[in-house]
Amino acid sequence: MNLKKKMPNGLTSWIETHHEIVKEISNRLVGLEDNLPTKVMSLRGTGGIYELGEDLTDKFEKLNISREWDGDFFDEIERFCIKELDK
């Protein structure tokens, strides 16, 4: 695996993004509302949730290659997760 391609902003950025996205996925599973995480869980189980977290982390990181965060990282993650998860 080419780590630079997988993690274009570096390992630390990928891990931080993954952590925040997984928190957002977990928050949406608690209420069992009709959203992407609950659909994935019912169709593909826990493994599907793991894949969803990784896929969304990769997507977010690629959308924000070399971006310098100026205190807006958490706001951007929240906007991204609303768009991607509340389907």
Q: What is the pTM of this model?
A: 0.91
Q: What total of structural domains would you count in the chain?
A: 1
pLDDT, residue 20, reads 98
Q: Which tokens hold the place of 40?
A: 């994935």
**C-alpha dist (Å) from residue 58 to 18, 31, 33, 34:** 8, 26, 25, 24
pLDDT, residue 64, reads 96
Domain that holds residue 69: 9-85
Cα separation, 66 vs 49, whole angstroms: 27
Whether residue 19 is contained in a domain is answered as: yes
Whether residue 4 is contained in a domain is answered as: no
pLDDT, residue 50, reads 97
Question: Per-residue pLDDT for the chain (87 aa), expressed as one digit of tens each?
Answer: 677 778 999 999 999 999 999 999 999 998 767 899 999 999 999 999 999 999 999 999 999 999 999 999 999 999 999 999 997
Whether residue 1 is contained in a domain is answered as: no
Cα separation, 15 vs 21, whole angstroms: 10
Residue (of 46, 53, 42, 69) closest to 15 by Cα position: 53
